[in-house]
Amino acid sequence: MLLAEAGCLFMGFILYITGAQGQHKTACALKGSTVHFSCSAERPTLKLKWFTVNRNGSKFVMRELFKDRRPTSHMSEDGDFTLTINDLRQSDAMFYCCSENEDNPEKCWKSATKLQVSDLQVKGIPATEGHAVKLICSTRCALTETPAAYIWYKNREFLYEDWSPWYQELVRSEKGVTYSCTIKGHQGLRAPDVSVDSVTPTCFTVTYAKGRMCSNKQKSENESCSITYPREVKVKMANRQQGHVTLTCETSCPLTDRQTVFTWYKNRHSEKDPLSPIPISSIDIFSCALKDNKDLRSAEVCVEKNTCLSVNYVPRRVCALQGFSVNISSEYSHPKHQQPKSKVWYKKSGNVEAERLTEAAGRVKYHGNMNNQHILELERLTKNDSARYSFRVLTDENHENETHFPGVTLVVTGLRVTFTPSAVVSEGQRVTLTCSTSCPLSEKISFIWKFNSESLTLPQNQSKHVPLGQVGSQHAGRYSCSVKISQRTISSSEMTLTVHSVKRQQILTGGGVVAVLLVLIFLTVFLWIRRKKNHEVETSDNMEQPNPGPVYDDGSAQPVNEDDLQYSEVHFSKKNPKSPLYSTIQQDNPHEEDHTSYAVVQFRPKATPS
């Protein structure tokens, strides 16, 4: 029996994922998109088929595809057997494998690829400073294909597009103001509108127009819902009895829905069932998070101090300026009997394997002399430094290749000037300058504005936004913004604001109207002259036509000599007021009553007999 199975290779759009034989590979794609699985068998045959495979306890179940006729397969000339699924649905999220038959489901399971299907959702995460919230365009899983760009909308109107999923501003309570996002190339799949209704030191409330966030609140996905979130989640230990302790997940917000569901993590893996009382001697790591917003997650804890290997970060999301330095801080604990062999930082970007950072690589510095605290310093930041960074304490009993380590998300941003509503406006329009970023910077940062390379002197010149008000010709020119921290400065490129003169536009508009009127007048005169000429020609032609009066057919039928001229029609009239036959004939001289008039006489040469 030939069981032609190879590790399934996933292609999300044009992207392939590879994985070691016998290990599950994971792929994540957007709902409504198209994916391709490629099964490169060692000895490809036409007997290959595609299956979904599931595990039920120790039993594996395979089911052949194509019974619903939506997925399609194709065997290429080089033996590449491909599965294509169009218009992805949530029900397509399964394990896929290729095989000749169903004789060995366990082997198919081991080589299967897990497909995850995600929609888009705007999520709110509390900022570490002030009463504000950060917004992120999120998916259920990390997309296999790196998005070309994220597009943001405010009040359903296009706002901007950028490579970062983070909204560029900190958002405060703005009732009636909605935000949404999508991914470039997938504008048909747009996140439901979201509004931030209130932000307090302990809570924030978000209203969702529709979507899966509302379905988690036991409502239809097509209905709107408002959810109050805590700004902080923590694990509390209680009821120490008989060598056990009970763990509960608590929040900082008293308004949090009592039906809020939490997800528990044990050794950084999610638990399906509620936690039972934990033995005090346990060396496991525990944490909890909101089920519908796992970014709101507690710190890792041990049942007893210094009995487990935990790592925590404050903050977990960092926005830093390109060209500057940043410090990423971690706090850790380890069992007393397990002394650290080494302390290392890892960088994970997209679907690339985690990279171990060393000081020898340059721009990287470790600061680890503090008690149970370790700091990673990155110098001269570039956009490529945007990634997730995690810290690991290596001992004799743990391994470097362990996964599911928590980390810090770093986004490195530059500066760019944008104009609202546009870079080309007319006199009198209101314009606002914005020093745009790819993530929300600290509100403590001051911005320096320049106009035509000179300092811009405005009351708001230290702000990220500068309203110019109604602009005139004096506002037209080149604008740039910069940030200075210590002795280092980063500046944006210069962008030009063009202001069109209203008078000039009126002159151009007036000139256009005059030109149109002249053309219309010319056409009118031309048509009138042409019509007059046509009328004169018609009048002349009418004079040459027979008079519609009485015709004596007998006279025109008389025989004539061939050499004589013919009278085609001759009308004789004599004024006789008593006879209606002559009442329509006018004489040249009304006083000569006996004068004979020739009404119409036409001469033509003799016609040749046919």
**Percentage of the chain exceeding pLDDT 70:** 73
Structure letter (DSSP) for residue 547: P
Q: How confident is the model at residue 212 (pLDDT cuts 50, 70, 90)?
A: confident
Start-to-end CA span in the chain (Å): 103
Per-residue pLDDT tens for 98-108? Answer: 888 888 888 88
Better-predicted residue by pLDDT, 582 or 189: 189
Q: With H, G, I as helix, E, B as strand and everything else as coil, classify residue 138.
A: strand
Per-residue pLDDT tens for 563-603? Answer: 444 444 444 444 444 433 333 334 444 444 444 334 343 43
Give the pLDDT score at 115: 94
Q: How does DSSP assign 31-45, residue by residue?
A: TT--EEEEEE-SS--
Give the pLDDT score at 340: 81
Q: How confident is the model at residue 11 (pLDDT cuts 50, 70, 90)?
A: very low
> Average pLDDT in the 546-571 region?
41
The token pair that represents 296 in the structure block: 């709101």
Q: How confident is the model at residue 287 (pLDDT cuts 50, 70, 90)?
A: very high
Give the pLDDT score at 245: 92
Q: How confident is the model at residue 181 (pLDDT cuts 50, 70, 90)?
A: very high
The token pair that represents 134 in the structure block: 């950060």
Mean pLDDT of the chain: 78
Give the pLDDT score at 77: 46
Q: At a CB cut-off of 8 Å and minimum separation 6, what does 360 contact?
A: none
Q: Which residues pair with 229 in a beta bridge?
A: 204
Calculate Rg over the CA atoms of the chain: 43
The token pair that represents 17 in the structure block: 């994922």
Q: At a CB cut-off of 8 Å and minimum separation 6, what does 402 contact?
A: 392
Per-residue pLDDT tens for 58-73? Answer: 888 898 886 555 566 6
Give the pLDDT score at 314: 86
Q: How confident is the model at residue 388 (pLDDT cuts 50, 70, 90)?
A: very high
pLDDT(299) > 50: yes
Structure letter (DSSP) for residue 18: -
pLDDT(387) > 90: yes
Strands 465-470 vs 387-394: parallel, antiparallel or unpaired: unpaired
pTM of the entire structure?
Answer: 0.74
Structure letter (DSSP) for residue 532: H
Domains of the chain: 9-118 (2.60.40.10), 121-230 (2.60.40), 311-395 (2.60.40.10), 416-502 (2.60.40.10), 552-610 (no CATH)
Compute the half-sphere exposure of residue 409: CA atoms within 13 Å on the CB side of its CA. 9
Q: How confident is the model at residue 57 (pLDDT cuts 50, 70, 90)?
A: confident
Q: How confident is the model at residue 14 (pLDDT cuts 50, 70, 90)?
A: very low
Count other C-beta atoms under 10 Å from residue 284's C-beta.
13
pLDDT(504) > 80: no
pLDDT(525) > 50: yes
62 vs 4, 52, 115, 381, CA distance in Å?
16, 6, 16, 49
> Average pLDDT in the 349-368 region?
86
> Average pLDDT in the 433-449 region?
91
Closest by CA to 284, choosing from 264, 263, 309, 261, is 309
Instruction: Kindly report which listed range (277-281, 418-422, 563-567) carries the lowest average pLDDT score.
Output: 563-567
pLDDT(605) > 60: no
The burial of 441, by beta-carbon neighbours within 10 Å (0-12 exposed, 13-18 middle, 19 or more buried), is given as buried
Closest by CA to 213, choosing from 197, 192, 196, 199, is 192
pLDDT(222) > 80: no
Give the pLDDT score at 569: 44
pLDDT(178) > 90: yes
230 vs 89, 106, 168, 261, 558, CA distance in Å?
32, 44, 22, 13, 121
The strand ranges marked E within 57-178 are 59-64, 72-75, 80-85, 95-99, 113-118, 121-126, 133-138, 150-154, 157-162
Of the ranges 182-186, 240-244, 460-464, 597-601, the best mean pLDDT one? 182-186
pLDDT(434) > 90: yes
Q: How confident is the model at residue 164 (pLDDT cuts 50, 70, 90)?
A: very high
Of the ranges 26-40, 131-145, 571-585, the best mean pLDDT one? 131-145
Q: How confident is the model at residue 23 (pLDDT cuts 50, 70, 90)?
A: low
The strand ranges marked E within 88-243 are 95-99, 113-118, 121-126, 133-138, 150-154, 157-162, 179-183, 194-199, 203-208, 225-230, 233-241
Produce one character per residue of 83-120: b if its CB has 16 or more CB atoms within 10 Å, e if not.
bebeebeeebbbbbbbbbeeebbebbbbbbbbbbbbbb
Q: At a CB cut-off of 8 Å and minimum separation 6, what does 5 contact?
A: 39, 41, 97, 98, 99, 107, 108, 111
- Identify the helix (H) or strand (E) that includes residue 287: strand 285-290
pLDDT(390) > 70: yes
Q: With H, G, I as helix, E, B as strand and everything else as coil, classify residue 284.
A: coil
Q: How confident is the model at residue 155 (pLDDT cuts 50, 70, 90)?
A: very high
> Average pLDDT in the 47-52 region?
85
> Average pLDDT in the 207-222 region?
73
268 vs 57, 318, 446, CA distance in Å?
22, 22, 39
Alpha-carbon gap, residue 5 to 51, rounded angstroms: 12
**Contact (CB, 8 A) for 450 and 456:** yes
The burial of 130, by beta-carbon neighbours within 10 Å (0-12 exposed, 13-18 middle, 19 or more buried), is given as middle
The token pair that represents 326 in the structure block: 């940043």
pLDDT(268) > 80: yes
